[in-house]
Amino acid sequence: MKKTMKTLLVVSLALMMMFSFTACSNDETTQNPENGDQEVLTMATNAYFPPYEYYDGENIVGIDAEIAAKIAEKLGMQLEIVDIEFDSIVTGVATGKYDMGMAGMTITEDRLENVNFTDSYATGYQVVIVPEGSDITSPDDLYAEGASQVVGVQLATTGDIYASEDFGADRVQQYNSGNDAVEALKAGKVDCVIIDNEPAKYYVEANEGLTILPTEFVVEDYSICVAKENTELLEKINTALNELIEDGTVQEIIDKYIAAE
Ligand code: GLN
């Protein structure tokens, strides 16, 4: 992981803005049955990624949910959050099933081939969760000669990409959510879980006997993805997002969920 993380390309802003001026045709979601005039802004997410998105009772809450609500408000649209598998978000957005994807999603070159990204609104990095007292005391142990530990990841996340590249498919177990990966760790089905830092903190706090290894990391930029054709919406979201960054709203929302260190 360390090797790949070090070489991970930090994608420049310029790359994110690859406009092609084609008309969009995302009709399915343009009417809100409950509120006649207001269009619906559908956000695809995977709601097992606290504090960015998670269930509070039946509601999906978190940093992404709150920022998205503010963006929708600025756009005069009604936000509808759809909880799907992380692996389906980019495709769902690219094919116009959802207007945008917001899921603590890192901008990567591969994803940029299928969707456009807004400016970044938050950062994260990958960490390793192990059971307390584990033989794995540093990420380097995963790279040791003859190492055979099995790593749990959430399917198609950057953690999955790094782990699969560095350790090979035989040593990686993919799960549909971070929660499932952590449950597998607790059940002894995997030896560690590689996941983003903030969800890791949540999972370790919520589950006794787990701990996070100190990790060298490369910062990943979280951003909102929009279909390549939908440049008009991308621009609108980006403008709203930047206003919310500039007036401090985004930081306020982040601070509400993440205690200052
Ligand atoms: N930041 C990671 C990625 O984009 C994980 C996102 C997630 O699990 N929701 O792949």
pLDDT range class, residue 19, cuts 50, 70, 90: very low
Beta bridge partners of 40: 78
Ligand 1 contact, 158 CB (< 6 A)? yes
Q: What does the pLDDT look like over 206-253, one tens digit per residue?
A: 999 999 999 877 899 999 999 999 999 999 999 999 999 999 999 999
Ligand 1 centroid–CA 120 distance in Å is 14
Q: What number is the average pLDDT over the span 96-103?
A: 98
Same domain for 92 and 162: no
Residue 20 lies in a domain: no
Q: What does the pLDDT look like over 103-157, one tens digit per residue?
A: 999 999 999 999 999 999 999 999 999 999 999 999 999 999 999 999 999 999 9
> Is the pLDDT at 175 greater than 90, yes or no?
yes
Q: What number is the average pLDDT over the span 61-78?
A: 98
Residue 49 lies in a domain: yes
Ligand 1 contact, 154 CB (< 6 A)? yes
> Is the pLDDT at 20 greater than 70, yes or no?
no
**Nearest Cα to 123, choosing from 217, 1, 216, 235?**
217
Q: What number is the average pLDDT over the span 56-77?
A: 98
3-state DSSP assignment of residue 190: coil
Ligand 1 contact, 106 CB (< 6 A)? yes
Q: What number is the average pLDDT over the span 159-171?
A: 96
Q: What is the pTM of this model?
A: 0.84
- Domain count along the chain: 2
Stretch among 7-16, 43-52, 128-137, 191-200 having the lowest mean pLDDT: 7-16
**Nearest Cα to 257, choosing from 207, 208, 202?**
202
Ligand 1 centroid–CA 224 distance in Å is 12
Ligand 1 contact, 124 CB (< 6 A)? yes
pLDDT range class, residue 88, cuts 50, 70, 90: very high
Ligand 1 centroid–CA 36 distance in Å is 34
> In Å, what is the CA distance from 122 to each residue of 9, 62, 77, 173, 195?
17, 13, 23, 27, 16
Same domain for 107 and 61: yes
> In Å, what is the CA distance from 94 to each residue of 12, 44, 50, 232?
21, 11, 25, 15
Task: Give the model's pLDDT for residue 38.
Answer: 82
Burial (CB < 10 A; 0-12, 13-18, 19+), residue 206, is: exposed
Task: Report how far residue 68's alpha carbon sits from residue 208's, in angstroms, rounded to the nearest whole number.
Answer: 32
- Is 169 or 7 the better-scoring residue by pLDDT? 169
Which CATH number belongs to the domain containing residue 135 in this structure? 3.40.190.10
Ligand 1 contact, 46 CB (< 6 A)? yes
Same domain for 98 and 214: no
Give me 4's structure tokens.
């790949």
Same domain for 215 and 136: yes
Task: Give the model's pLDDT for residue 24.
Answer: 37
Residue 186 lies in a domain: yes
Q: Which atom of ligand 1 is nearest to the CA of 177?
A: 8
Q: Which domain holds residue 188?
A: 124-219
